[in-house]
Amino acid sequence: MSDASPCLSCGACCSYFRVSFFWGECASSGGTVPDDLVVQINPSRVAMIGTDQKPARCCSLEGEVGSGTRCSIYEQRSSVCRDFESSWSQGEVNVDCDAARAAFGLAPLEQPPYEFELPISA
Ligand code: SF4
Ligand code: SF4
């Protein structure tokens, strides 16, 4: 079984949602996200440039959606990016993952087969 993340051949969520978060996550405020990659959307929140519009595409996304993508600020990405889970990565569907994929004609991720562990003793 491959351990490769399905996200590496997707990137749909980074090209579908407005990716917004508290400005305190920006580097100039003690956070990690480079300031020049965000736009202020209200007094307390910023959004990744490119996601506050339709069609959306985060300025930090590299590659082609549905083919091969990567986040160029992976280690510095915001909490909203870190917290977004692909479907089944936590054992359940993420309807937002499915919706983003559907917008690009990509099928929902399939539930991986269950793995059974036999008890060591009865
Ligand atoms: S839409 Fe789902 S599978 Fe695609 S990159 Fe986002 S979390 Fe990963
Ligand atoms: S910062 Fe990275 S993970 Fe977050 S939306 Fe942009 S490309 Fe995706």
The answer as to whether 113 is a domain residue is no
Q: What is the pLDDT of residues 83-94, one digit of tens each?
A: 999 999 999 999
The answer as to whether 66 is a domain residue is yes
Q: Which ligand is nearest to the CA of 13?
A: 1
DSSP track, 6-17: GGGG---GGGTS
Is 86 in contact with 5 (CB distance < 8 Å)?
Answer: yes
The answer as to whether 63 is a domain residue is yes
d(CA 48, CA 59): 7
Q: In terms of pTM, does the model score above 0.85?
A: yes
The answer as to whether 54 is a domain residue is yes
The answer as to whether 109 is a domain residue is no
Q: Which ligand 2 atom sits nearest the alpha carbon of residue 17? A: 5
The answer as to whether 28 is a domain residue is yes
The pLDDT of residue 83 is 98
Q: Whose CA is nearest to atom 3 of ligand 1?
A: 7
Is 14 in contact with 57 (CB distance < 8 Å)?
Answer: yes
Q: What is the pLDDT of residues 49-95, one digit of tens each?
A: 999 999 999 999 999 999 999 999 999 999 999 999 999 999 999 99
Tell me which residues have their CB closer than 6 angstroms to ligand 2.
14, 19, 48, 58, 60-61, 71, 73, 77, 81
The pLDDT of residue 3 is 58
114 has pLDDT over 70: no
Q: Which ligand is nearest to the CA of 8?
A: 1
The pLDDT of residue 1 is 43
Range(s) of the domain holding residue 17: 6-103
Is 61 in contact with 69 (CB distance < 8 Å)?
Answer: yes
The count of domains in the chain is 1
